[in-house]
Amino acid sequence: MDEILVLAEHREGELRDITFEMLSKARSLGKDAGKSVTALLLGAGVGDYAEALKSHADEVLVLDHGNLKAFNAAVYQQVLSEVLKSREPSLVMIGHTAFGVDLAPGLAVTLELPFASDCIDLAYEGDDLKATRQIYEGKVNATVSFADAPTVLVTFRPSACPVEDAEASAGKVTELDVAVPEEPAMRQFLEYVEAAVGEVDITKADVVVSIGRGLREEENLPMIEELAEALGGVVACSRPCVDAGWLPKDRQVGSSGKTVKPKLYLAIGISGQFQHLSGMKAADTIVAVNKDPKAPIFSEADYGIVGDLMKVVPALKEKIAELRA
């Protein structure tokens, strides 16, 4: 039977959520299109993960090898090439993660696979796969089709698909026998370095007042700090504010920063790119202030104000002070 192959992603001893999100998507796709779902597990000392994967797939392929200890795109690409050549799955899914974006493009080039990245949805129309991608900073969706080929490759966006419950019937586990090259001298893993810890832990706060590039200038920060104080919260931000040096890295919310789950998240002058959303969408109440009514943040927020933050923030501070008085 035709198969959909999902590359399991794990890091530092844990399977990552994207793995189960992709398996869930693959299962619903497979049901509609009559394809089986295979999880491909590569790594060193990862045999145990097969247990967790097999209730989400028809088959788990395991290659447990010392040379796969570090994620090295050069090594993984070679192994994946071998596996794909021998199995010819009709679809290969890799996470659109730091791991996946480093690996998938090269694989597409060497194997000449039709390839679409950062897909948020996939569907079969007959035998033809259609992918949905988001472009222009979340303001446009694009439908992409693939050339006729035995195998097509996609990277799939994290948090784009909910994780479905495990299936009662567990899939089988197969050990793979594929040669694994050593890490090449041209690219060698050295170490992981944890992000620095700051004085404020934004993940512990009940109220997070978060600013984005819409703040325009560092000079405008004090009014945000005052608003945060009035609400008993902490100031956090989107990535560009850290890049610009307005706030330290430990205040950054999003995929390459912190994940926060406060009771209240105020997003001020933040457009709501998926990398930001993934770090805050679990907040209980989300309020967005943005001058652009089409900003993607409004689809995630519970309450919104369309307006100029330079006017709304001072006004809000005043109203809160009035209520307090």
Partner 1 sequence: MNIVVCLKQVPETAEAEVKLASDKKGIEMEGLPLQINEADNYALEQALLLTEEHDGDVTVVTLGPDSSDEVLRMSMAKGAAEAVRLAGPAFDRGDPVAIARALAAAVKDLEYDLVLTGCMSSDDGNTAVGMALAECLDLPHATYVTQMEMGDGEVTVGRELEGGLIEKLKMKMPCVLGIQTGINEPRYASIMGIAKASKREIAMKSASDLGLDEGSVGEEGSRTKLEELAYPPVGEGAEILEGTPAESSGKLAEVLREKGFV
Strand partners, 132: 121, 143
Say whether residue 158 binds ligand FAD (CB under 6 A).
no
> What's the CA gap between 139 and 150, in Å, rounded?
32
> Which listed range, 21-29, 31-39, 66-74, 162-170, lies at the site for partner 1 (CB under 8 A)?
66-74
> What's the CA gap between 229 and 207, in Å, rounded?
10
> What's the CA gap between 32 and 34, in Å, rounded?
6
Q: Which is nearer to ligand FAD, 31 or 139 (CB)?
A: 139
> Which listed range, 20-28, 46-54, 82-90, 311-319, lies at the site for partner 1 (CB under 8 A)?
311-319
Q: What does 246 interact with, of partner 1, ligand FAD, none (CB < 5 to 8 A by kind)?
A: none
Please state the closest distance from residue 171 (CB atom) to partner 1, in A. Answer: 27
Question: What is the footprint of ligand FAD within residues 230-259 (CB under 6 A)?
Answer: 238-240, 252-257
Look at phi and psi of residue 34 and say left if phi exceeds 0, alpha if psi is from -120 to 50, else beta: left
Say whether residue 170 binds partner 1 (CB under 8 A).
no
Return the SS3 of 37: strand
C-beta of residue 136 within 8 angstroms of C-beta of residue 96:
no
Please state the closest distance from residue 255 (CB atom) to ligand FAD, in A. Answer: 5
Q: Mark 201-220 with x for binding to ligand FAD (rule: CB under 6 A) and - for no binding.
A: -----------xxx------
Q: Mark 125-154 with x for binding to ligand FAD (rule: CB under 6 A) and - for no binding.
A: ------------x-----------------
> Which listed range, 154-162, 165-173, 201-209, 268-276, lies at the site for ligand FAD (CB under 6 A)?
268-276
Spatial strand order of the sheet with 36-43 comes to 128-135, 115-125, 152-156, 91-95, 3-7, 36-43, 59-64, 172-175
> What's the CA gap between 53 and 161, in Å, rounded?
17
Beta strands 36-43 and 3-7: pairing type? Answer: parallel
> Which listed range, 29-37, 124-132, 188-196, 288-296, lies at the site for ligand FAD (CB under 6 A)?
288-296
Say whether residue 110 binds partner 1 (CB under 8 A).
yes
> Residue 240 has which token pair?
């560009």
Please state the closest distance from residue 244 (CB atom) to ligand FAD, in A. Answer: 10
C-beta of residue 87 within 8 angstroms of C-beta of residue 3:
yes
> What's the CA gap between 55 and 42, in Å, rounded?
18
Say whether residue 269 binds ligand FAD (CB under 6 A).
yes
Say whether residue 41 binds partner 1 (CB under 8 A).
no
> Residue 312 has which token pair?
């709304």
Positions that interact with ligand FAD (CB under 6 A): 137, 212-214, 238-240, 252-257, 269-271, 273, 275-276, 279, 289-292, 295, 308-310
